Amino acid sequence: MKVAILRTKNRNDSISIGALVIQDELTREGIAVAYCDYQTAHNFTHVLVSMTSTLDVFDIYANCRAANWQTRRFTAFVGGFGCQNPMALAPYFDFAFFGRVDGIISDYLRHPEKYSQHSFHFSNPHPVQLRQVTQCYPHTVIYGKNSVRWKEKIIGCPFRCKFCHYSHSRKYVGDGSFMNDQISASAEVMLKDIPAMDHKPGRITTALDGYSERLRFLYGKRITWDMVEEAMDFLASFKGNTFLKLYNITNFPTETDTDCEEFHQFWKQYTTSTIKADGRVVVDVYNTAFRPSLNTPMERCEATLFPEARCLPNKTYIAEQNGFAIKFTHNTKGAWSHLEDLISIRYTDPSVIEYIATNQQFSKLNNKEKLEQFNKMFDISPYIRSYTETEQLNYKVFTT
Ligand code: SF4
């Protein structure tokens, strides 16, 4: 076997952690693993491609086509967390693996048919189940330009929010908390765990995911305003500045202006009434629109793409007083990237994927004129609607 992992262009030629784990396991078993690009892939017998995000499908599609992967003599494998519905990649790949492949990778590469329960053969499509593991990968891998030593501490998430691929696609392994401070300058931590931190990093990333308690509890994210208050009190009690990146989901089904108002009122009241210690606490709210993943209870729910996610213009302060600054950072890609995302998850129609992959029009559609021009070329109206539970995809990959 001559095995290579593809450096994907849309990720700055980087190798995902998942791919590094696979490389590590193969190397430990005496199988050399090289890196390749779309052209040099033709020099190998087995080429492995990791999808980090579902959006990777557009870039992979365009590059595989340009590098003639449809005439390949190697066996092409795709997998990874973003590999949710890769049907459009059928001309360029032989197998797609769903779930965790660590523990079996070398045998899988030699005998992919043996693993048909989790491995999807593009020339003979059939529903598959996600493969799960019961323990974290036991070895350390070296990640990124800064050669960070990364060791897996958690898989999945115990909370099972009704829209979240992260918890529904990976069986949870961990101790009930989540803290990822290994590869990013900003420590990722669950909001409920902030008050229990033994130190306060300068930069923290967490998620609220819903303007109101009603929305959060409806969709499984059980965070009360009291919990937010407790987390903020903890951050404010330290000397020195804190930058909190707070992810929030907007455009949930049933969301109204009242939900949005509850969010604004909370921050105004909190920053008015709290007693702040030294330092400044800046909360940057990153709004993204609701995009339910496949294989979750909400996978067929209506996703409203327009109007764009409810948020104020760039860097608008919701509240700024008593040492706190709460502001929105506008998602400049807005609804267009959400539409790309929805198409990459729910639709596998190669002609749509190809259109986006080769024209890359969506991200450029930032004004009315361009939008009208675009609408003449490609009618998006069939995609902006409700999706019933029973509606057929052109292929449903998962079984549960
Ligand atoms: S949205 Fe966050 S808290 Fe909810 S299941 Fe997903 S990762 Fe867990």
Nearest-atom index, ligand 1, CA of 207: 2
Percent of residues, the chain, with pLDDT higher than 70: 79
Q: Is the pLDDT of residue 111 over 80?
A: yes
Tens digit of pLDDT for each residue in 250-269? 888 889 999 999 999 999 99
52 Cβ contact partners less than 8 Å away, ≥ 6 residues apart: 11, 16, 18, 80, 81, 82
Ligand 1 atom with the shortest distance to the CA of 209: 1
* CA 98/CA 75 separation, integer angstroms: 17
Local confidence band at 315 (pLDDT 50, 70, 90 cut-offs): low
Q: What is the dihedral of CA 86, 91, 93, 96, to 10 degrees?
A: 30
Ligand 1 atom 4, closest CA: 161
Distance 156 CA to ligand 1 centre (A): 9
Within 6 A (CB) of ligand 1 lie 157, 159-161, 164, 166-167, 207, 209, 221
For 13-17, 55-59, 229-233, 234-238, which range has the lowest pLDDT when averaged over its residues?
13-17
- Rounded to the nearest angstrom, the distance between the alpha carbon of 167 and the centre of ligand 1 is 6
In the reported structure, the alpha carbon of residue 14 is separated from the centroid of ligand 1 by a whole-number distance in angstroms of 26
3-121: CATH topology:
Rossmann fold (3.40.50)
Q: How far is the CA of 197 from the centre of ligand 1 (A)?
A: 19
The CA dihedral of 243, 227, 323, 276, to the nearest 10 degrees, is -130
Per-residue pLDDT band at 202 (split at 50, 70, 90): confident
Atom of ligand 1 nearest to the CA of 190: 3
For atom 6 of ligand 1, the residue with the nearest CA is 164
Check whether 302 has a pLDDT greater than 50.
Answer: yes
- CATH 3.40.50.280 intervals, the chain: 3-121
Supply the pLDDT for residue 84. Answer: 84
Distance from the alpha carbon of residue 328 to the mean position of ligand 1, in angstroms: 21
Evaluate if residue 394 carries a pLDDT over 80.
no
